[in-house]
Amino acid sequence: MSAPEQPRLAVLISGRGSNLQAFIAACDRGELAAQISLVISNNPAAAGLQHATAAGLATRCINHRDYLSREAFDHALVDELRASAIDLVILAGFMRILTPVLIEPYRGRLLNIHPSLLPKYPGLDTHQRALDAGDAEAGATVHFVTQELDGGPPVLQARVPILQGDTADSLAARVAGEEHIIFPLAARWLAQGRLALTESGATLDGKPLPATGVQYSSGMLV
């Protein structure tokens, strides 16, 4: 009997692609049984495109500035995804607000990571906002993408303490280290068919997830 075909991933980036590199490493180690079939950026200068090319991955640049509307840009993305027979879409630092043109065809197959403990601090400047609020901890959340900005059901969260003397940059660096662990893990659950988006929220192994998703710890069973 032949091995089941691995799901085909597209990773969408806008910048340096650090989470993309975490996905490449997870696939290389066999921790994520999936094939990164396409890397797309909206930014021609994105350093992550160079990392993808160096890893032998197919890349496309679809510059959002070439389109008159968000919907037209998203149609171009969907065309590329369909042409590559993509199964799962990973938003890894993709700095564009998506429209239903892309969200609906890939509903339940579209994951994002956000650098805060959602529902806290959707949007930008998350680390500085956590510092300004005097929070004791910060973190990152993997969530399904829906039409609500950073509001789709959370899947997996990692937390880090906020230390005395932290700046937005130092906090961001520690949170990024956790992102590189939890994002490929959540994608693994999705690729395995264990993770699903239902009308009532996210489920793992058929069981509803908490409102803030699974809380990651280094010794957890996965």
Provide the CATH number for the domain around residue 203: 3.40.50.170
Burial readout 90-120 (b: 16 or more C-beta within 10 A, e: otherwise): bbbbbebebbebbbeebeebbbbbbbbbbeb
Antiparallel, parallel or unpaired: β 59-61 and 35-41: parallel
Catalytic residue among 51, 114, 127, 143: 114
Antiparallel, parallel or unpaired: β 214-215 and 154-161: parallel
Sign, CA dihedral 178-181-185-187, equals positive
Predicted confidence at residue 218, as pLDDT, reads 77
Looking at the structure, tell me whether residues 133 and 92 fall in a common domain.
Answer: no
CB 99 within 8 A of CB 149: no
Looking at the structure, tell me whether residues 157 and 86 fall in a common domain.
Answer: no
- Describe the strand order of the beta sheet including 59-61 as a list of residue ranges: 59-61, 35-41, 8-13, 88-91, 110-114, 137-144, 154-161, 214-215
Q: Which among 68, 91, 106 is the end of a domain?
A: 106
- Describe the strand order of the beta sheet including 201-204 as a list of residue ranges: 195-198, 201-204, 207-208
| 222 located within any domain | no
Q: Which among 89, 106, 123 is the end of a domain?
A: 106
Instruction: Look up residue 211 and give its two tokens.
Output: 């409102």
Looking at the structure, tell me whether residues 46 and 96 fall in a common domain.
Answer: yes
Q: Which ranges of the chain have pLDDT less than 50?
A: 1-3
Predicted confidence at residue 222, as pLDDT, reads 60
| 1 located within any domain | no
| 29 located within any domain | yes
Looking at the structure, tell me whether residues 97 and 161 fall in a common domain.
Answer: no
Distance CA 159, CA 44 (A): 33
Looking at the structure, tell me whether residues 156 and 137 fall in a common domain.
Answer: yes
Looking at the structure, tell me whether residues 25 and 119 fall in a common domain.
Answer: no
Domain total of the chain:
2
| 2 located within any domain | no
Predicted confidence at residue 221, as pLDDT, reads 52
Q: Look up the domain containing 89 and give its range.
A: 7-106
Predicted confidence at residue 101, as pLDDT, reads 98
- pTM here? 0.94
User: pLDDT tens, 191-202?
Assistant: 999 999 999 999
| 185 located within any domain | yes
Predicted confidence at residue 177, as pLDDT, reads 96
| 15 located within any domain | yes
Q: Which among 106, 126, 153 is the end of a domain?
A: 106
Sign, CA dihedral 47-52-56-57, equals negative
SS3 content of the chain, % helix, strand, coil (to 5): 30, 25, 45
Looking at the structure, tell me whether residues 122 and 87 fall in a common domain.
Answer: no
Predicted confidence at residue 4, as pLDDT, reads 52
Distance CA 135, CA 31 (A): 33
The reply to whether 114 belongs to the active site is yes
